[in-house]
Amino acid sequence: MLSKRIIPCLDVKDGRTVKGVNFVDLRDAGDPVELAAQYAQQGADELVFLDITATHERRKTMIEMVKSVARQLNIPFTIGGGITEIADAEALLNAGADKISINSAAVRNPKLIEELAKAFGVQFVVLAVDTKFVDGRNMVHLNGGRLITELETENWIKQAEDLGAGEILLTSMDHDGTKAGFDCGLLGKVNQMINIPIIASGGAGSMEHFTEVFQKANVDAALAASVFHYGEILIPDLKQELKRNHIPVRI
């Protein structure tokens, strides 16, 4: 069985790592390059960097930060935010990123998924989906959760897989930052629908939550931010706990 992955997420705004609750009330969590190096030393399997205001402010993701991170890291990392065309992705790849994450741009132009997969390979393309439960349905949201779409989450993820997405980063906005646990129901449902890996995001507050999402939803990876940034959960301790619960992890 493939090892389950633990992925710290660094939301970056103006060159600093930030964290909020339900996508708002952001506070500083440190220098992203320094944090990245610490996580690699602790045994993180991968990292995700999201320039959370790039799309909203129509800026491009920070190439210089990517270069700095690539010099520090020996583990794969994904970068997202403001990627709207092949040239954006190519610049990030050349700067040292292993994968790119697209969200808003893919909803507005689904063919972008197909174009990126053809240009760089399916494994390079991570589709980030921000979802919120609205009037009895899971709905896709854009621009850092500011904008609701007419897309139902499950339908959009299936379409994205068909277009060539290699992985889904699924964030429950209802759970994000609450530390009340992942949305195992939705994650499990989506996981049964598709054949590509799912990264669970939104709601991690304890080691038990990681055990629960792997056991109940059988996701491939679990992502968290504040519990790692503020030292509430240390990755070596988390991996030992998962191992005790018979969840395969890379120690």
Which domains can be identified in the chain, with CATH numbers? 5-244 (3.20.20.70)
pLDDT tens figures, 211-234 = 999 999 999 999 998 899 889 999
pLDDT of residue 232: 94
Tokens at residue 52, please? 């959370």
Single-letter residue type at 182: F
> Which comes out higher in pLDDT, residue 34 or 208?
208
pLDDT tens figures, 185-196 = 999 999 999 999
pLDDT at 14 over 80: no
Q: What band does 19 get if pLDDT is binned at 50, 70 and 90? A: low
pLDDT tens figures, 136-190 = 999 999 976 789 999 999 999 999 999 999 999 999 999 988 899 999 999 999 9
Q: Is 113 exposed, middle or buried (0-12, 13-18, 19+ CB in 10 A)?
A: buried
pLDDT tens figures, 26-64 = 656 578 888 889 999 999 999 999 886 665 554 555 788
Q: Does this model's pTM top 0.85?
A: yes
Known catalytic residues? 11, 130
E-state strands within the chain: 5-13, 16-21, 24-30, 47-51, 77-80, 99-102, 125-134, 137-142, 147-152, 167-172, 198-201, 221-224
Beta strand pairing call for 125-134 and 47-51 = unpaired
pLDDT tens figures, 73-94 = 999 999 998 899 999 999 999 9
pLDDT of residue 60: 57
- Indicate the SS3 state at residue 148: strand
pLDDT at 134 over 70: yes
Average pLDDT over residues 116-120: 97
Select from 221, 179, 186, 185 the least CA-distant residue to 202.
179
pLDDT of residue 217: 98
